[in-house]
A = this chain, B = another copy of it.
Amino acid sequence: MQRIAVDAMGADGAPRVEVEGVVAAVRESEIRVVLVGDEARVRPELEALGAAGDPRIELRHAPDVITMDDAPSMAVRQKKKSSMRVCFDLAKAKEVDAVISAGNSGAMMACGLFVLGRLPGVERPAIVTSLPTRTGDCALLDMGANVDPKPTTMAQWAVLGSVYARLLHDKPRPRVGLLSNGSEEHKGTALTRETHHLLLAARGQGALTGASRDPGPEAGAAFEYVGYVEGRDFFRGDVDVVVTDGFTGNVVLKSVEGAAEVIMTMVKEEVAKAGVLARLGAALMIKPLRRLKHKTDYAEYGGAPLLGVDGVALVCHGGSNARAIATAVRVAGRFAQSGLGQESTTAVAQHAFLWNGDAGRGGGLSAAEGGVS
């Protein structure tokens, strides 16, 4: 049975949305939760839902809170009794299998680095998110943790993203693309061109192994590197993983959310302006449109995991509602069960030839053990 630590003080609507989400999650699944936050504020919310005595929810008092204004690395070191930091300490002590928080995402990253630590061979962790495409899910990373990564770090993200897509999206050999402003090789920035050069080695290795679906140490790259991709390509479902720097990833995600919002608003406005028949038409379409909203609603995706740290941590949107928190709790349980951490460690070691400049196979494990960071 999975145990998840939930930071009760992170969301804009904290602690109510966290408490409601947690209560819903334990009632719908086998998961147990350690709810961490200011007891004086959290307990009344539990009582209001008749869940104060629920054995599946353990309330752990944390007197302090990391706010959006706190400088991440400072806050993590100094606010040792903050709800977020206590959650990560529980994960480090193996008292829980995963952590979720809708608080300061920079502080989440800092907690991941300082408390959990990086996986061997990973220079910087990344935040990954799932976007709905025409053919399923596409994993996009980094979503904002690192605005200025090195090419070697981006190559590591290709590996981490492909493990994520394999385990969580059931893609046996994920197609990985590098986000750029055009598909031709001369496009992109110095960063994308250098990363492309590193990842081309994966293509060579992949070719050696052909149809292998069970990549072991001898199997070469466990993903297919397709080269540069554009925004149109990944929404069409041409790739399973898109790698980009945290600045571009964050800007793209928020722009797409903004565009989706404006399209939905325009639809509503057009319908309101239209005649009775069209309004009737809209009413008849409500059910299919609701299914669509369900599909595109980021609340459904339940948080973006931090990849490359030694543990499972999910970053939730500050504006999360109770449903988003409930989904995140369930998703965190799936992540913890999936073996993502162990599989990532193995994959990073196996693919170290990509960033160590060692085009030969077999040297991966020892190179990663030596550490590239």
Contact = CB atoms under 8 A, between A and B. Distances in A.
A248 interface: yes
B278 A285 contact: yes
A360 interface: no
A204 interface: no
Q: Is the interface of A mostly helix, strand, loop or mixed?
A: helix
23 contacts: A134-B265, A144-B182, A147-B188, A148-B189, A180-B251, A181-B251, A230-B255, A231-B254, A232-B254, A244-B251, A252-B255, A259-B259, A259-B260, A263-B292, A270-B288, A270-B289, A270-B292, A274-B285, A278-B284, A281-B284, A282-B284, A282-B285, A285-B285
A234 B254 CA distance: 10
A68 to B, nearest CB: 8
Interface string A249-279: 0111111111111110111001101100110
Given A248-B251, A287-B274, A289-B270, A262 B134 contact: yes
Contact of A263 (B255, B263, B283, B284): B263
A233 interface: yes
A181 B144 contact: yes
A179 interface: yes
Nearest to A266: B292
B247 A231 contact: no
A223 B281 CA distance: 44
A259 B292 CA distance: 13
A296 B254 CA distance: 18
B251 A233 contact: no
A150 to B, nearest CB: 14
A215 interface: no
Nearest to A231: B255
Nearest to A140: B255
Contact of A278 (B132, B179, B287): B287
